Every structure is written in structure tokens, then in C-alpha cells.
């Protein structure tokens, strides 16, 4: 199978739109899950798209651009990875194996975009000094250009050379690596989960983490994530019920102090 130029252009436009979504409405187009699904859908194999996108999504679950940090671009990764997986007919694990290094590599382009915008900030500063508010407005909108190009260019290139790249890999990738990547793909979601655990108040509320784990682990075939989520909701509601019913009236300022303490506990710095 080959990628038509039309499809390449559509996916390139999609990644630009998705990047704008990431900055503004955040409806989800920007997520690897959507990236994989849409690529899969357009290339006629939605299942592979869901597997690639879903796994990448879980890997990046705890990773976020806190404070403007740059994170691996698994959106572009999921698009190119899904495409390669379908082109090569080697299954989702193959696509994940490729999406990961691509996503890591593209981290740099995010940095580049954030730096390029400095130019528009300075342009706006100049307009501000003259009171030209329309100029300030324009400067902000220009920011769209670096943001979208930083995603559209690599995706275009990646898809355009897709066949050749895939052929190259197929020739040189050893069997043990394929086998290994398969298992690696199955454990990589641990990454996103572990990072997330660092950001949530695990020490205070570890009991609920255990309950969730055990329910799913021993729950059998009927157990679903939604079921566990409902139990989690019930437990949260019970916690709030008890808090409302039993909490002694706080002496001035003490609850703030208590919270601070917990925050300290959890604020572990992770460099992405």
C-alpha cells in the first residue's frame, strides 16, 4: 500500500489544526489517541490506529506541558507511526516502536516554535509603545505560524518518505528487536502512569490507588474501567460526605497549612 499525495496533505492539515486545538479549545484533536485513530480511519485500518494512538496516549498520560515544558510530540508520532504500521503490514507494535523515537526527536521542534514566537512578542512590544493595538492583535495571531509549521513540516516529510523508510527498516531490523519491541510496547504505558503518580497526592490517598488496582486485577471479565471509575466516584463522594459531616471546625488558617504540607510531599520535580 502507498500513501496518495492527497492523503498526505489532509493529514498534514489535520496536524496543524490539532496543534491549534492543543493551544486553544483542547477538545482532544491534539491527543495521540485522535492522531492514531484519524490516520487509521483515513488509511482504512482504524484498529491499528486505535492501538498505536492508545498506547502512545498512555505513555504520555502523566506528561504535560506544565509551565511551558516541551514534551515528546507523540501526536506527530502517532500519525507517522500508524501510517508506517499500515504501510508495512507489520502490526501496531511496529508502529509504536517507530512512533516513540520520532516523538522524542520532534521535542526539539516544539522548543523551536516557542523560541520563534519571541519575535512576535517583540513586535507586539513595539506596537504597544505606539498604542497600535491592532498591531498587537496581529502579532499574537502570527504565532500560529511557528506553532503549526513545527508539526506540519515533519509530518509531511515523514509521510512523504514513508515507503522508503519502511523498506529500509524492514531490511535491517533484527528479529529479536521486533520481538522485544512487542513486549516493550506492552509495558510502555507504565511511563505515563508513573509520571502521573508523581503529580497526584499518592502518599495521602494511596489507599484508593490500591483499591482501583485490586478491583481491576481480580475483577474478571465483567470488570471495566467505567465500573472502577464509578467506584472511585463513590469513594470520593464518601470522602466528601465525611468531610462535611465530621470535619471539626478549623482554627484560623490551619487547613491551608495542612494542605501546604501535603503539597510539599508530592512536589517532586521531573525533567521531561
Partner 1 sequence: MTEEKTTEPVVTRKDLARVARRNIFGLQLGWNYEKMQGLGYCYTVLPILKKLYKDDPDKMKAALQNHLGFFNTTPAMSHLIVGANTALEEKLKGSDQDAVTGLKTGLMGPFAGVGDTLFVAIYRTLVFSIAAYLALQGQAVGLLIPLIAGFVILYIRYKFTFIGYNQGQRLTTEFGGQLKNLTEAAAILGLTVIGALIPAVIKPVIPLAFNIGKVKLDFQTLLNQIIPGIIPIAIVLFSYWLLGKKKMTSTRLLFILLAIGIILGNLANIVKLF
149-168 binders of partner 1 (CB under 8 A): none
Q: How far is the CB of 61 from a copy of itself (least distance, A)?
A: 22
d(C-alpha 199, C-alpha 177), whole Å: 33
Q: Which stretch binds ligand MAN (CB under 6 A): 13-21, 39-47, 62-70, 102-110?
A: 62-70
**Contact status, residue 93 vs residue 78, Cβ threshold 8 Å:** no
**Contact status, residue 123 vs residue 135, Cβ threshold 8 Å:** yes
Q: Is the dihedral of CA 134, 140, 144, 149 positive or negative?
A: positive
Residue closest to 7 by CA, chosen among 42, 55, 44, 49? 42
20-49 binders of a copy of itself (CB under 8 A): none
Question: How many Cβ atoms are within 10 Å of 263's Cβ, its own excluded?
Answer: 10
Q: Which stretch binds a copy of itself (CB under 8 A): 10-18, 154-162, 163-171, 238-246?
A: 238-246
121 interacts with ligand MAN by CB under 6 A: no
Residue bearing cell 489535520: 14
88-147 binders of partner 1 (CB under 8 A): 100, 104, 114-118, 120-121, 124-125, 127-131, 133, 136-137, 139-144, 147
**Contact status, residue 86 vs residue 50, Cβ threshold 8 Å:** no
2-21 binders of partner 1 (CB under 8 A): none
Residue number with the smallest Cβ distance to ligand MAN: 65
d(C-alpha 197, C-alpha 193), whole Å: 6
203 interacts with partner 1 by CB under 8 A: no
Q: Which stretch binds partner 1 (CB under 8 A): 1-9, 33-41, 78-86, 153-161?
A: 33-41
Q: Which residues bind a copy of itself (CB under 8 A)?
A: 204-208, 210-211, 213-214, 217-224, 227, 230-231, 233-235, 237-238, 241-243, 245-249
Amino acid at each position: 500500500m502507498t500513501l496518495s499525495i492527497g492523503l498526505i496533505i489532509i493529514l498534514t492539515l489535520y496536524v496543524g489544526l490539532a496543534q491549534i486545538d492543543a493551544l486553544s479549545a483542547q477538545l482532544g484533536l491534539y491527543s495521540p489517541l485522535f492522531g492514531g485513530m484519524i490516520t487509521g480511519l483515513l488509511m482504512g485500518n482504524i484498529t491499528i490506529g486505535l492501538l498505536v494512538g492508545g498506547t502512545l496516549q498512555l505513555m504520555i498520560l502523566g506528561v504535560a506541558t506544565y509551565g511551558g515544558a516541551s514534551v515528546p510530540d507523540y501526536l506527530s508520532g502517532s500519525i507517522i507511526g500508524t501510517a508506517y504500521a499500515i504501510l508495512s503490514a507489520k502490526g501496531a507494535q511496529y508502529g509504536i516502536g517507530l512512533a516513540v523515537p520520532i516523538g522524542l526527536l520532534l521535542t526539539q521542534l516544539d522548543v523551536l516554535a516557542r523560541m520563534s514566537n519571541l519575535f512576535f512578542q517583540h513586535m507586539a512590544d513595539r506596537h504597544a509603545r505606539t498604542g497600535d493595538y491592532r498591531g498587537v492583535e496581529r502579532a499574537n495571531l502570527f504565532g500560529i505560524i511557528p506553532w503549526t509549521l513545527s508539526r506540519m513540516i515533519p509530518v509531511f516529510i515523514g509521510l512523504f518518505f514513508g515507503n522508503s523508510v519502511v523498506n529500509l527498516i524492514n531490511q535491517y531490523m533484527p528479529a529479536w528487536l521486533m520481538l522485544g519491541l512487542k513486549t516493550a510496547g506492552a509495558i510502555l504505558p507504565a511511563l505515563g502512569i508513573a509520571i502521573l503518580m508523581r503529580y497526584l497526592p499518592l502518599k495521602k490517598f494511596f489507599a484508593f490507588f490500591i483499591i482501583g488496582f485490586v478491583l481491576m486485577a481480580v475483577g474478571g471479565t465483567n470488570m471495566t474501567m467505567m465500573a472502577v471509575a464509578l467506584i472511585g466516584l463513590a469513594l470520593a463522594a464518601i470522602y466528601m460526605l465525611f468531610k462535611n459531616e465530621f470535619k471539626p471546625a478549623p482554627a484560623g488558617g490551619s487547613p491551608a497549612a495542612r494542605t501546604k504540607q501535603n503539597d510539599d510531599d508530592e512536589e517532586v520535580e521531573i525533567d521531561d
